[in-house]
Structure 1
């Protein structure tokens, strides 16, 4: 090849490379609300945790502190922890409150059975605590992470909860000073509990509605139908979140294929009858059998896809798509929360291998994971 031809060839190669780089740049800068699949290497493992820290749900504060509930299905007494770095953690908020209460003599500090945990963006971590044989009411407990002191306790007695209550997950609405709780209640009695965070008054709504009870579909993971007790698990309303503008509550049954939504203004309107409120429920889109969800400002709903060992997203058009799939790294992804850094944080806890869901046998093997990935659109910080 002579010099003129060589120069021409190099120019053609340079143009081709520039064109490819431009196209890649266009692809990576996906507009908000579009659920383009990010490269798989964007799923990061940020913590690997030992036995005794089988994480449940997760909360990330505005100052980037990460807190998790610890799932009671594994039988240990830890109830809540703070993640310090990739392998270190501490009981949170302290040994009295971060563990199960002492029974003899009874100790009213401590968490009976806590899964739901939320950051409110104002320095408080909220714990949703279930009743126990020695403590018959549910509780919402707020801990001030800046002053390191108890901020508030709201009690949830009968008939706000039922005899078979299981207070699973919840959302905190700081704009309207309210909380919206998903109570799975054995499935047939599944309902929402709406709590006024100022007065502590609460209401039970949509109990046994088509939007809160489970669908008759199996949870099948790695070829096995998951049972709870002697029957295939049927779990009602569980995944729940609120949008960054505090306008919409998104929710669905774990055993369910639909995401629904309700306006916060309708949920808080006590003049609406149950029938009128039911008529205002909107089907937002498709979802898989799922445990946790969270939402960004563009209406993308991020979802833990437990049967596919995956995390996906439902976009504003109602279409569901898997973002990340990994049989080891995402073995029962559980809770999700958006942090102030533009990442979705998630827990992975192998819950289908815990004794209550595995014929009494614990087959889970540490580590239990905290993962994160970038959001597709911005969100508010510290929720």
Structure 2
């Protein structure tokens, strides 16, 4: 899932850009308590005056709409065994009321686990471990627990001291049961903890960190975390590839081309391998998780065990199914691809509504694939300060292809 860019702290501060952002904020709204997003979705026609028509899916597209939100921007999705769906709305270009929310009927959003956790303002600045600051990933593990990864870097500028954390929530009681705070040697000010996978057998979590490019390995039993392979070539994006979205280069308001480091992450079904890739890259890597858990290995020894799996599409999110097919959110051509265990790349679905397909989740039985579209490339940060989103953000689902 796309997140921090190595140059994010250098975002433009000119009056022109600031004015554009202010106008955008005035025109967009986050949900308010006790309301739904249905009105925002219904008002798309008004919001899109003067822009190109919103893309429409083919009548035969396998994608079904689970929810649609004009604002705020969604990036992450998680689905529990009982079918409950959760969304992640980071504090990037806007300030969502519910950065973590349970998604209900008619696009409704319920703050999760409660309104207090979703509050972040001057009144709670001294409690960074008790509030979502800029959550980036929501993930359901095999035991049915919900995990939220909060890099705590609102606006993609820098981490809030004491804010980065990994939080475990028991959905049966909707209460936090574990809260792991990351110190600055694990989550430095320029870091951005991106996406997480949890191995319930080994009781470990694995995290991509895209600020500088690294992996974070967390012993969930002790709560201790280690930052590994910092700025290793397998962790760092490549700006020479000219990777595009909608045919356009990703350039920030200062004119700098986007470099997106370690981002997509996937854990094999047996927990033996961790896969990852930088977003602006066509390379895919994996390593044995046993090596990552071995505290006696140096970075050089770990690097020697990294496997280069060859070329794959540029993508944001990744997930592995029961047959170890690797699904990829291929944002360059509005599609979902999959890489078979033999290395063959197949197109699962191509749909113009997949404007920057972002994050995956499976249903508990593994037969239904969920995906968000976050339209990263059309947000103000990557559109010269003015949002160009021409359709709602979505959660889609589809039956897993044979």
Asked if these proteins are the same fold (TM beyond 0.5), I'd say yes
Match for residue 400 of structure 2? 375
Please state if 1:167 is matched with 2:193.
yes
Please state if 1:116 is matched with 2:137.
yes
8 Å CA contact 1:73–1:354 kept in 2: the answer is no
Match of 1:339 among 341, 350, 363: 363
The 2-side partners of 1:40 and 1:266 are apart by 45
Please state if 1:362 is matched with 2:387.
yes
Please state if 1:202 is matched with 2:225.
yes
Cα displacement (A) at 1:191:
0.3
**5+ long unaligned stretches in structure 1:** 1-38, 378-383
Cα displacement (A) at 1:281:
1.1
Cα displacement (A) at 1:128:
0.7
Please state if 1:104 is matched with 2:123.
yes
Match of 2:329 among 284, 291, 304: 304
1:40-59 alignment, distance < 5 Å? 40-52=60-72, 54-59=73-78
C-alpha deviations, 1:301-344, integer Å up to 9, x for none? 101011111111111122222221122x1011110111124111
Match for residue 99 of structure 2? 79
Quick check: 263-272 or 73-82, which moved more? 73-82
Cα displacement (A) at 1:40:
5.0
8 Å CA contact 2:162–2:181 kept in 1: the answer is no
8 Å CA contact 2:135–2:152 kept in 1: the answer is no
SS at the partner of 1:228? coil
Cα displacement (A) at 1:73:
2.4
Please state if 1:286 is matched with 2:306.
no
Match for residue 175 of structure 2? 149
SS at the partner of 1:211? helix
Please state if 1:214 is matched with 2:237.
yes
TM-score normalised to the size of structure 2? 0.79
Cα displacement (A) at 1:129:
0.7
Match for residue 228 of structure 1? 252
8 Å CA contact 1:181–1:194 kept in 2: the answer is yes
**5+ long unaligned stretches in structure 2:** 1-58, 154-158
Cα displacement (A) at 1:248:
1.1
Match for residue 46 of structure 2? none
8 Å CA contact 1:117–1:126 kept in 2: the answer is yes
Cα displacement (A) at 1:105:
4.7
The structure that has the greater radius of gyration is 1
8 Å CA contact 1:257–1:288 kept in 2: the answer is yes
TM-score normalised to the size of structure 1? 0.82
Match for residue 6 of structure 2? none
Match for residue 12 of structure 1? none
Aligned residues: 333
Structure 1 residues 305 and 361, CA, compared in 2 at 3 Å: closer, same or farther? same
The 1-side partners of 2:393 and 2:308 are apart by 34
1:173-188 alignment, distance < 5 Å? 173-185=199-211
The 2-side partners of 1:164 and 1:56 are apart by 21
Cα displacement (A) at 1:366:
4.5
Structure number with the higher strand fraction is 1
Divergent runs of 4+, >4 A: none
SS at the partner of 1:352? helix
The 1-side partners of 2:381 and 2:91 are apart by 10
Cα displacement (A) at 1:113:
0.7
